[in-house]
Structure 1
Amino acid sequence: MTKIITKKTSVLAIALFATLGTFAQTSVWTGAIDNNWNNVSNWSLNAIPTLQTDVQIVHTSGNYPVIDGEDGSAECRNITVDNDASITLNGYGVLRISGTVSASNTISALGGTVSFIGTTPQTLPAGAFFNGAVYSLTTNNAQGVTLNGALAVNGVLTLQNGTFNTSNALTLKSNAQNTAKVAESAGSIAGNVTVERYIPARRAFRFLSSPTTGGTINSNWQEGSPATDPVGLGTDITGTGGAANGFDASGSNNPSLFTFDNETATWEAVTTTNIDLEAGVPYRMLVRGDRAVDQTSNAAVATATTLRTTGTLTTGNVLVSNLSPAAGAFNFVGNPYQATVDVQELLADAGATNVNANFYYVWDPTVNTRGAYVTVNVDANTNSNPSSVANKYLHPGQAFFVETAAEGTAWLTFKESHKYTNGTSTPNLYRTNSDNEGAAIALTLYTDESLAANGPSADGLVVRFDDAYSNDVDAFDAKKPANQDESIALVTNGQNLSYESRAMPVDGETLALSATTYRAANYTFKANTNGLNGVSAWLKDNHTNTLTELQNNAETLYSFTVAEGEAGSVAEGRFEVVFQSTLSVNNPSAAQFSVYPNPATGSTFNVALAGAEEITVTLYNQLGQAIAAQATPAGDTFTITPQTQLTDGLYMVEITSGSKVYNSKIIVKH
Structure 2
Amino acid sequence: MSAQTNTFNDSLLDGVAATTGAGDDTWETATNWSLGIIPTAAHDVVIPDGMLAKIKVAGALANSITASGTGKLQINAEKSLNVTNNVTSGSNSNILFVTATGKSMGTLIFGGTFSGGNITAKMRLPSNDDWHLISSPLKQATINNYVTNATTIVTNGSSKYSLASYNDANAAGLKYTYFPNPLPNTTDKLEKGQGYSTKLNNTGDITKPDVQFKGKLVDADFTIAITDGGNGFNLMGNPFTTYLFANTAAHATNNVLALNSGILDEATLWFWDNTAGGGTGDWITKNLGDFATYHISPVQGFFVKAKTGGGAFKFQETMQTHAKTDGFYKTSKDRFEIDLLIATDDVRRSTSIRYTDNSTTSFDSGYDSSLFGGYSSEFALYTQLVKDNTGKKLAIQSLPNANLENMIISVGVNAKAGSEITFRADVLNVPAGYNVYLEDRTNKTLIRLDETDATYKTTVSEAVTNGRFYIHTRTSSVLGLDATLLNSVSIYKTSNSNLKITGLTQGESTVSLYNLLGKRVMTTSFEAANTNNVSLPSLSTGVYIVKLQSDKGTLNKKIILE
State the TM bucket, normalised to the shorter chain.
0.5 to 0.7
Match 1:556 to one of 442, 454, 468:
454
In structure 2, what is the equivalent of residue 491 of structure 1?
A: 384
Give the TM-score of the pair, scaled to structure 1: 0.58
Report 1:97-136 matches (<5 A).
Answer: 99=34, 118=43, 122-127=46-51, 129=53, 134-135=56-57
Q: Secondary structure at the match of 1:221?
A: helix
In structure 1, what is the equivalent of residue 124 of structure 2?
A: 198
- Against the structure 1 CA distance between its residues 340 and 527, is the aligned structure 2 distance closer, same or farther, given a 3 Å change threshold? same
- Against the structure 1 CA distance between its residues 373 and 77, is the aligned structure 2 distance closer, same or farther, given a 3 Å change threshold? closer
In structure 2, what is the equivalent of residue 458 of structure 1?
A: 348
Residue 399 (structure 2) pairs with residue 510 (structure 1): no
Given that residues 459 and 488 in structure 1 are in contact (C-alpha distance below 8 angstroms), is that contact kept between their aligned partners in structure 2?
Answer: yes
Q: Secondary structure at the match of 1:411?
A: strand
Using CA pairs below 8 Å that are at least 6 residues apart, which structure has the higher relative contact order? 2
Unaligned residue ranges in structure 2 (runs of 5+): 248-253, 483-562
- Against the structure 1 CA distance between its residues 520 and 168, is the aligned structure 2 distance closer, same or farther, given a 3 Å change threshold? farther
Match 1:431 to one of 318, 325, 328:
328
Given that residues 368 and 396 in structure 2 are in contact (C-alpha distance below 8 angstroms), is that contact kept between their aligned partners in structure 1?
Answer: yes
Residue 174 (structure 2) pairs with residue 283 (structure 1): no
Q: Secondary structure at the match of 1:469?
A: coil
For residues 464 and 404 of structure 2, what CA distance do their matches in structure 1 show? Answer: 27
Report 1:326-345 matches (<5 A).
Answer: 329-344=232-247, 345=254
Give the TM-score of the pair, scaled to structure 2: 0.68
Residue 209 (structure 2) pairs with residue 319 (structure 1): no
In structure 2, what is the equivalent of residue 376 of structure 1?
A: 286
Report 1:4-83 matches (<5 A).
Answer: 80-81=11-12, 82-83=17-18
For residues 264 and 272 of structure 1, what CA distance do their matches in structure 2 show? Answer: 18
In structure 1, what is the equivalent of residue 466 of structure 2?
A: 573
Q: Which residue identity is paired with 2:327?
A: Y
In structure 2, what is the equivalent of residue 172 of structure 1?
A: 97
Residue 97 (structure 2) pairs with residue 187 (structure 1): no
For residues 329 and 551 of structure 1, what CA distance do their matches in structure 2 show? Answer: 37
Given that residues 134 and 153 in structure 1 are in contact (C-alpha distance below 8 angstroms), is that contact kept between their aligned partners in structure 2?
Answer: yes
For residues 429 and 41 of structure 2, what CA distance do their matches in structure 1 show? Answer: 53
Given that residues 235 and 290 in structure 1 are in contact (C-alpha distance below 8 angstroms), is that contact kept between their aligned partners in structure 2?
Answer: yes
Which digits, 9 at most, give the CA deviation of each residue in 1:617-637, with x for residues without a partner? xxxxxxxxxxxxxxxxxxxxx
Residue 152 (structure 2) pairs with residue 235 (structure 1): yes
For residues 177 and 116 of structure 1, what CA distance do their matches in structure 2 show? Answer: 30
* Aligned residue pair count: 448
For residues 328 and 349 of structure 2, what CA distance do their matches in structure 1 show? Answer: 16
- Against the structure 1 CA distance between its residues 370 and 191, is the aligned structure 2 distance closer, same or farther, given a 3 Å change threshold? farther
Residue 365 (structure 2) pairs with residue 365 (structure 1): no
For residues 351 and 374 of structure 1, what CA distance do their matches in structure 2 show? Answer: 19
Which digits, 9 at most, give the CA deviation of each residue in 1:459-497, with x for residues without a partner? 211011235321112313111125645211112212111
Given that residues 83 and 111 in structure 2 are in contact (C-alpha distance below 8 angstroms), is that contact kept between their aligned partners in structure 1?
Answer: yes
Deviation for aligned residue 1:393? 0.8
Deviation for aligned residue 1:192? 0.9
- Against the structure 1 CA distance between its residues 193 and 176, is the aligned structure 2 distance closer, same or farther, given a 3 Å change threshold? same
For residues 487 and 96 of structure 1, what CA distance do their matches in structure 2 show? Answer: 59
Root mean square deviation, CA, Å: 4.0
Deviation for aligned residue 1:586? 9.9
Q: Which residue identity is paired with 2:465?
A: E
For residues 143 and 581 of structure 1, what CA distance do their matches in structure 2 show? Answer: 62
For residues 464 and 431 of structure 1, what CA distance do their matches in structure 2 show? Answer: 16
Deviation for aligned residue 1:85? 3.8
Given that residues 139 and 215 in structure 2 are in contact (C-alpha distance below 8 angstroms), is that contact kept between their aligned partners in structure 1?
Answer: yes
Q: Secondary structure at the match of 2:321?
A: coil
Residue 452 (structure 2) pairs with residue 546 (structure 1): no
For residues 499 and 209 of structure 1, what CA distance do their matches in structure 2 show? Answer: 26
Given that residues 437 and 448 in structure 2 are in contact (C-alpha distance below 8 angstroms), is that contact kept between their aligned partners in structure 1?
Answer: yes
- Against the structure 1 CA distance between its residues 99 and 283, is the aligned structure 2 distance closer, same or farther, given a 3 Å change threshold? same
In structure 1, what is the equivalent of residue 296 of structure 2?
A: 394
Q: Secondary structure at the match of 1:556?
A: coil
- Against the structure 1 CA distance between its residues 97 and 560, is the aligned structure 2 distance closer, same or farther, given a 3 Å change threshold? same
For residues 543 and 235 of structure 1, what CA distance do their matches in structure 2 show? Answer: 52
For residues 409 and 485 of structure 1, what CA distance do their matches in structure 2 show? Answer: 29
Which digits, 9 at most, give the CA deviation of each residue in 1:428-463, with x for residues without a partner? x63333442611211122335x4xxxxxx6221101
In structure 2, what is the equivalent of residue 623 of structure 1?
A: none
For residues 265 and 438 of structure 1, what CA distance do their matches in structure 2 show? Answer: 41
Match 1:529 to one of 395, 402, 427:
427
In structure 1, what is the equivalent of residue 311 of structure 2?
A: 410
For residues 519 and 458 of structure 1, what CA distance do their matches in structure 2 show? Answer: 17
